[in-house]
A and B are shown apart, each in its own frame.
Chain A
């Protein structure tokens, strides 16, 4: 009798162990949350909560920089800038987690004032205590040594460098050169100097920059995506309403999953491939834990 029960125990435990082992392997990959819903504020918060909540990233008294995409003079429906509701939700979550100061800025491509206004982000954050929506100033870009493959050094914004937490909030959209622009490329918003000169080797340059500058949390706005004529669009027919928000601590992983929303494979985007090759994150969806809520 005891041998039989022993064999049963061994057989059952092997099942238990194999699923445990599977869990073990899966837990080693990064978690990417894909939240879906029409309430863009709510799904943003759920996405962050599914990662452990904003308190996992922001400690009381922290200075946080939230870097949305607001580089273009376009209104929110045109999906050239990050959805203001998504940005406001992130900022609010930071404040609730106890952040002392939340700074929101972007080095725009069009007129600074028009971009901040048309994107709706400045208005969405108006009146929130402890929140500074400000224009970057020329003198505050600091030289950062990269020692990268193509960029030996670059200029990054001092407030982004000195922040306790950096939250990257890009909008998912088409881009003529890199095909898509997501988290990795959104870092260009804190880049100083002549940004246009890195396009000749964009994928390698972005890997150089992101190797040194770490993003704590990336939240990809896929509520509305720009499917063509990016990165600024202008034609409402190019915008697709997806109602999704992705979040991850792994900037490469979230870019990879976001790519699939376009019907493309992660390897189709050179920027993501180069980043993975440099060990900045995971590119293979099967190695990630994708949580859909």
Chain B
């Protein structure tokens, strides 16, 4: 077997790490997640730069990203050639995708027209970087499309087996358990924008038909940012142009030599040219900076920045009816601040225990595309869980201890008396009250004697919400037995002051023994 070059080994290791962390970004029996894929986002320079521009503050969580950018000033685009999981994926599939006869040439300015509006928009408060960030693209494709697909397919097969084998299926259950527990998502969630996420990932892969690493070279905003930093790097390749008689290095170069000169902002540091040169002439070393060509035209710079400004300011329309039901993860108090910090990576949605979080499509306006919103009818916020705050790479969802998170207000529950059974049909229910996790119960009931619609006099328990105690978790709306629209719904509130802390227990403590282990 051909010996793998060092950069390939490193690439494969990081891709494996990414996939392992992806599978581990899940509730695994402990309240705190040990390791999550958000590590990749925190080391992502694009995430770091855009978030800090948007919040106009230093975000300590994202320091690794700034460090990567800093090192790129010296080493060039080593991230692209050695670390980026999407880049590795492209390298692995590029031969299978094939090359089209007529190569698609993307103008060299296009990548600046993508990066600059993103940066400018962030400066003006709108953080859209996650939409085109390569790690986010890969993560969303996996989270929303491929992983659920794998889960649904295998689980569907497992279910079908029961129809055939019945209880004897238990014989092979241990094998299935292993696959299910480690490879498949625990819940079966169907995500909106699943197809779109897969499509975007697919398009990036399909671009390989135009040449190796076309996305990385001509479009990727993260790569472009690192490329700008690479311009300052003292790491130079000699000679800077392929020898006219041979040109082998140009052949093997994944970022391509579409011009005579090697473009420093496109070089991925893979050093394939070093290995390929038959006469061993190619060297990478630290030297003096050479005179380089124009990075971008002035109109591209100005136009890009201006477009970003317009992007940030012109997509602000929000439909008020939809706004009333826009619920954010617990701990998110201010919508504006949230939009600045959320990089739309999709991790919170992946890790949410009860599949409560989904990418917003229209409810948060175009500016909120792919940001997480809580849809109670589909999933509620589990009372003791703090996973979303733990995995958020930028702290858009704060990482709060459980006792604080329980008091964060997501919204407030309101009864729809036109539908709720005790009011609308004069029959008993209060399943919502049963499931309310607030220890003092934010839903209570009063016994009302009423004449049912059948003419029988009976006492019915009529529920009501104690607003000061409700944290808007949504379990009430989730479990309401009504079909379609629930009899109780959680509405968004502007001021999300946390619930009051529990008053200290008055009187003697009840006789409790030591907590049982386990």
- Does B186 touch A at the CB level, under 8 Å? yes
CB distance from B451 to the nearest CB of A (A): 16
Evaluate contact between A194 and B481: CB separation under 8 angstroms.
Answer: yes
Evaluate contact between B439 and A234: CB separation under 8 angstroms.
Answer: yes
CB distance from A56 to the nearest CB of B (A): 27
Evaluate contact between A196 and B479: CB separation under 8 angstroms.
Answer: yes
22 contacts between A and B (CB under 8 A): A38-B513, A73-B437, A77-B515, A109-B435, A109-B479, A110-B382, A111-B27, A114-B353, A122-B518, A123-B518, A139-B163, A162-B167, A175-B434, A176-B430, A177-B429, A177-B430, A177-B461, A196-B429, A202-B428, A229-B441, A234-B438, A241-B510
On whether A123 and B517 interact (CB within 8 A), knowing A111-B353, A231-B434, the answer reads yes
A158 to B438 alpha-carbon distance, docked (Å):
34
CB distance from B313 to the nearest CB of A (A): 42
- Does B354 touch A at the CB level, under 8 Å? yes
Closest A residue to B427 by CB, please name it: A200
Q: A73, A162, A196: which contacts B384 (Cβ < 8 A)?
A: A73
Q: A110, A140, A197: which contacts B162 (Cβ < 8 A)?
A: A140
Residues in B neighbouring A38, C-beta threshold 8 A: 513
Interface residues on A, range: 35 or more
CB distance from B512 to the nearest CB of A (A): 6
Evaluate contact between B445 and A237: CB separation under 8 angstroms.
Answer: no
Interface bits A113-133 vs B (CB < 8 Å: 1, else 0): 110011010111000000000
Number of interface residues of B (CB under 8 A): 41
Residues in A neighbouring B428, C-beta threshold 8 A: 177, 199-202
Evaluate contact between B354 and A111: CB separation under 8 angstroms.
Answer: yes
Residues in A neighbouring B517, C-beta threshold 8 A: 120, 123
Number of A-B contacts (CB under 8 A): 113
Evaluate contact between B29 and A113: CB separation under 8 angstroms.
Answer: yes
Closest A residue to B429 by CB, please name it: A199
Closest B residue to A120 by CB, please name it: B518
A110 to B382 alpha-carbon distance, docked (Å):
7
Residues in A neighbouring B431, C-beta threshold 8 A: 196, 199
A235 to B365 alpha-carbon distance, docked (Å):
40
Residues in A neighbouring B435, C-beta threshold 8 A: 109, 232
Residues in A neighbouring B384, C-beta threshold 8 A: 73, 114, 118
- Does B101 touch A at the CB level, under 8 Å? no
On whether A114 and B27 interact (CB within 8 A), knowing A73-B383, A235-B440, the answer reads yes
Residues in A neighbouring B430, C-beta threshold 8 A: 176-177, 199
- Does A236 touch B at the CB level, under 8 Å? yes
Evaluate contact between B382 and A111: CB separation under 8 angstroms.
Answer: yes
Task: For the A-B complex with A137-B162, A229-B440, A237-B505 known, give 11 more contacts whose Cβ atoms are closer than 8 Å.
Answer: A73-B383, A85-B516, A113-B27, A120-B518, A139-B159, A201-B427, A201-B428, A234-B383, A235-B440, A240-B510, A241-B512
Evaluate contact between B433 and A237: CB separation under 8 angstroms.
Answer: no
Closest A residue to B480 by CB, please name it: A196
Interface bits A211-251 vs B (CB < 8 Å: 1, else 0): 00000000000001000010111111111110000000000
Evaluate contact between A176 and B186: CB separation under 8 angstroms.
Answer: no
A224 to B517 alpha-carbon distance, docked (Å):
16
